[in-house]
Chains A and B, each alone.
Chain A
Amino acid sequence: MLPLRMTIGQPGSRMNRDPARFFLLMLVWGALGLFVLYPLARLLILVFYVDGTGSMGNLAKAFSSWYNRKALLNSLLLATAVAGFGTFLGFLFAFSVTRTTLPRGFKWFFGAVVVLPFVSPPFTSSIALTLALGPNGMLMNLLHLPDFNIYGFVGTWIAETLTFFPVAFLTLAAVLSAIDPNLEDAAMSLGSSRWRAFLTVTLPLSTPGVANAFLLLFGSSLTDFATPLVMGGHTFPVLTTQAYLQITGMYDLRGGAAISFVLLVPALLVFLLQRYWVKRRSWITVTGKSEGTSPSRGAGSAAEKVILAIISAMTLFILFLYSIILWSSLVRVWGVDNRLTLENYAYVFTVGWKAVKDTVLIAVTSTVIGTVTAIAIGTLACMREITGRKTLEFVSLLDYVLPGTVVGIAYLVAFNTGPLVLTGTMAIIVALCVFRYNATGIRAIVSSLQQIDPSLEEASLGLGASRFATFRRVTLPLIVPAVITGMRYLFVVSMTAISATIFLVSVKWSLLTVRILECVTELLFAQAAAFSVVLVLIVFIAIGVISLLFRLVYPETFRHARRS
């Protein structure tokens, strides 16, 4: 019998009467122990355990180098700059989508363009920026800027902002649309101008959301690996790239681990701030009562024009960068020989075919296993009579909170030697994808389960359905949207992730993102662009297939969704 969220709490006794659930719980804890806690423990031991005693020696050694100290400073500086600019842009986009009188088509278009970076490999904006503003770049020749150097802080900053500001956009769009437009109307009818209503009502109410977006972006930039590796150059080292180079360049696992460890402090701080400060300061409570019929007031025509100008320019810039990727994948040598060719795609499907195949196989396997795991963990975490269910949820989200570099190194440390050796296998990559990226799915499933009225399940049981039938026919269809969200995310990141997986690829199992990185470091930009285009296409197809599959299996869920 499958587990069911219990509404009538009968601690202990229930548990024993349901051995299947007990077995499942043990299985989940076993997997979490092996793939989450064990690698982290091995990492801790490696860094802090020297010659039989605890020691800070490795950390001290890593930061005795001025270059590493500079990397730490750079990381913090970059994260602040990216978070600041990205939150600003995200706010403008979110405001224009939720609070202006723009036609709906425009809003949809802005929203659609902005989320492009979500489904792209992490290098996309870096490659496009290089092709546009790098040496021999298209804009460089157009604007006659021969001395401009895109590599370093500026390039990394722009590329990361482009990659991460959609996160701020989505966060803030949700926050702004949850603010009752009546509040702004009330402010205005009490005599406020639009600007004053914005300053005294809209802005204070969205402050927790702004803080949240800032923290999310700060964390993303801090732990980002792909962009600084391509755009940073020698002059702008950051912690993630330093940790990687220490391990792959100098074969110093301990030193790399120590460097990556420093990332943990700010990353955890961001997480804690988000969880305990932002949440407590949230004014907006989702009441479920939507005032959907009242159109938003708009920002005033002058302000609206300024906002529209900025976001149009940004949108065009993003589209421009993406068309550069597409275009450069279709020409012989970018900027030199602009004749059209399919050579680069031929390269992808011959030399690069193995990476394509491996990546899809790994992503599909991870998505399937990860979804089942997410449903299991999500339902277990919602069962009141299970002791330690909060801990279970926390542990399952741990790898997601930690920087990818740290998790990647931890896996490398744990499964290279010791009782379980997985180095060079597909299993290690799949395990990492599952336990690092099903967090979104788990959180979606948990919140979705919490919203289901317990009386629905009670009604089903009362009508004579077994617990399993109730789970399958009532609970599951209701959480399908959450499951799909999780699946989609899992597939996309399994396809596009690199910060953790780069430590785990081998001759036998390669990934598309790693191939793209190799192309970039060998200056094969056209091939890199072709790989990126193929990757984006696969992701779009997969998202379509996942939705279609669920539509066929659970038509009732979508009927319901359409109506509401």
Chain B
Amino acid sequence: MAQSISLRNLTKSFTRGGETFQAVDALSLEVHAGELVAFLGPSGCGKTTILRIIAGFERPTEGQVLIEGRDITDDEPNKRGIGFIFQNYALFPHMNVFENVAYGLNVRRESRKETERRVSEVLELVGLKGAERQFPNRLSGGEQQRVALARVFVIDPKVLLMDEPLANLDAKLRIVMLAEIRRLQKRLGATCVFVTHDQKEALAIADRIVVLNRGKVEQVGTPFQLYANPASCFVADFIGQANIFTGRVVALGEGRLEVSFHGRRLSVRCSPGVDFREKTEVALAVRPDFVRLVRPEDSLLSGKLLSGVFLGDTMEYTIEADSGFFVRALVPFSGEEDVLPEGATVGLKVDPQDVLALPL
């Protein structure tokens, strides 16, 4: 059975050159049994440190780690039964594939027959049958990744931690391995924490995403929730892209706000659970794909097109509005003849429904 993970008030501070740095700052979090949670954040946000603390490689300065309700904060890593996938795989270079995968079983004093059976089973599972006698340095990045997965799966961990497992693979292989990892995790039925700085990976694989920034949780939610209702500008711009403007709260409503924006009054959406006060500044987030470009006479808001970048399926335009702010717009590509020239005057249209008010 999979097991839940609870982090309670977890804090880790480092002292470097006399300065104390909070890598993890009083963080509390629940990961349910059998769930795949992605820790998403920019580098230095503390996500790897949290993972290493759960695995027992590092001790928290304060706080506890509980697995299925049991406090394991002071347990040695080898007593935790947690599988860990390292960013650089950490395959033992002096052992071949078989020996690498059999390592955990040997430590557990499995019989030789049982070891051979289980290693061959798990190598079959990851598609590496026949590579038993190869040494890690002879394998490709994707194969090394599979060995690392096999080495952990063979001991049947209830909790599986992955530290940027796809960072060293090329873009195409990454997509293949992402699906593979999801498949294997489901089959194993383990509770899984997946650390990444790549929002696409997180969106694609996770049941829930924890967005981290400076050692703190910014927001927790399903990929859809985070994309549709980010709770902060950081999340709005980190998951997907966002134009962020500044407006002023005029009146409060049920799930809506009346804001003034460059002399105009708009009724916009606000994320549930965020408090706003009247007459304060507020951030207005608009996804570039919700900005429509129209003829200048069809819109109250117009601007000058500064640049257009062809991205294959879309065109990304940057527009300087007449009021002086900049707007990014993503427009589906419909043929070379429809591409707008630089310097053109265009009208901008956004449905107020697509504008989200966020705390500044």
Contact = CB atoms under 8 A, between A and B. Distances in A.
Interface of A: 180, 182-183, 185-194, 196-197, 200-201, 204-205, 283-285, 289, 291, 294-295, 297
A194 to B, nearest CB: 8
A-B residue pairs, 9 tightest by C-beta: A190-B104, A182-B90, A186-B90, A188-B77, A191-B107, A283-B93, A189-B84, A188-B78, A185-B57
Interface in B83-97: 83-84, 86, 88, 90, 92-94
Given A204-B94, A283-B93, A283-B94, A189 B55 contact: yes
Contact of A189 (B56, B88, B93): B56
B103 A189 contact: no
**From A180, A189, A283, A289, residue with most partner B Cβ within 10 Å:** A189
A200 B90 CA distance: 14
B108 interface: yes
A201 B104 CA distance: 13
Interface residues of B, number: 27
Contacts of A190: 78, 103-104, 107, 151-152, 155
**From A183, A193, A291, A294, residue with most partner B Cβ within 10 Å:** A183
B58 A295 contact: yes
Contacts of B77: 185, 188-189
Interface in B71-115: 76-78, 80-84, 86, 88, 90, 92-94, 103-104, 107-108
A188 B78 CA distance: 5
Contacts of B80: 189
Contacts of B82: 189
Contact of A192 (B52, B78, B90, B94): B78
Given A182-B88, A186-B90, A191 B78 contact: yes
A419 B312 CA distance: 80
Contacts of A182: 86, 88, 90
18 contacts: A185-B84, A186-B84, A187-B103, A188-B76, A188-B77, A188-B78, A189-B57, A189-B78, A190-B103, A190-B104, A190-B152, A191-B78, A191-B104, A192-B78, A194-B78, A197-B78, A284-B93, A291-B88
Nearest to B135: A283
B78 A294 contact: no
Given A183-B92, A189-B80, 9 more contacts: A180-B88, A182-B90, A186-B84, A189-B57, A191-B81, A192-B78, A192-B107, A204-B94, A295-B58
Interface of B: 52, 55-58, 76-78, 80-84, 86, 88, 90, 92-94, 103-104, 107-108, 137, 151-152, 155
A193 B76 CA distance: 8
Given A189-B84, A294-B52, A196 B107 contact: yes
A196 B151 CA distance: 17
A201 B58 contact: no
B77 to A, nearest CB: 4
**From B83, B88, B94, B152, residue with most partner A Cβ within 10 Å:** B94
B151 A180 contact: no
A191 B108 contact: yes
A295 B56 CA distance: 13
B283 to A, nearest CB: 33
A205 B94 contact: yes
Contacts of A201: 92
A202 to B, nearest CB: 11
A283 B103 CA distance: 18
B137 to A, nearest CB: 8
A98 B84 CA distance: 23
B52 A191 contact: no
A297 B57 contact: yes
A284 B136 CA distance: 12
A203 to B, nearest CB: 10
Contact of A191 (B86, B94, B155): B155
A484 to B, nearest CB: 26
A21 to B, nearest CB: 39
Nearest to A295: B58
B133 to A, nearest CB: 17
A303 B155 CA distance: 28
Nearest to A182: B90
B88 A205 contact: no
A177 B88 CA distance: 17
Contacts of A191: 78, 81, 104, 107-108, 155
Nearest to B80: A189
Contacts of A294: 52, 57
B293 to A, nearest CB: 43
A205 B91 CA distance: 12
Nearest to B137: A285
Contacts of B93: 183, 205, 283-284
A115 to B, nearest CB: 25
Contacts of B84: 185-186, 189
Contacts of A185: 55, 57, 77, 84, 86, 90
Nearest to B55: A189
B202 to A, nearest CB: 22
A291 B163 CA distance: 13
Contacts of A295: 58
A205 B95 CA distance: 10
A289 to B, nearest CB: 8
A122 B64 CA distance: 56
B208 to A, nearest CB: 24
